[in-house]
Amino acid sequence: ISVLMAAYLAMMVSNTMRHFQTANRALELEIAERRRLENAQRESERRFQAIFHNSFQFTGLISPDGTLLEVNQTALNFIGLA
């Protein structure tokens, strides 16, 4: 191939590599943000569960249609199911 064609191909490869590096960095940032959010969600769930299950008050979760989804240990102890 000619020198001109080789230079053109080298430039195209270089541009493509820069594009992939930019895209890869964007994906790395997105993955890091997703991991941060997942960790924050796990910590929030852990705190909620600790408060829910260690409360001395009867606590429960009810769906909008009235279905009992979950009750805490205090309520279960009171009604004799624990």
DSSP state, residue 80: T
Share of the chain above pLDDT 90, in %: 87
Q: What is the pLDDT of residue 40?
A: 98
Q: What is the pLDDT of residue 81?
A: 84
81 versus 17: the higher-pLDDT residue is 17
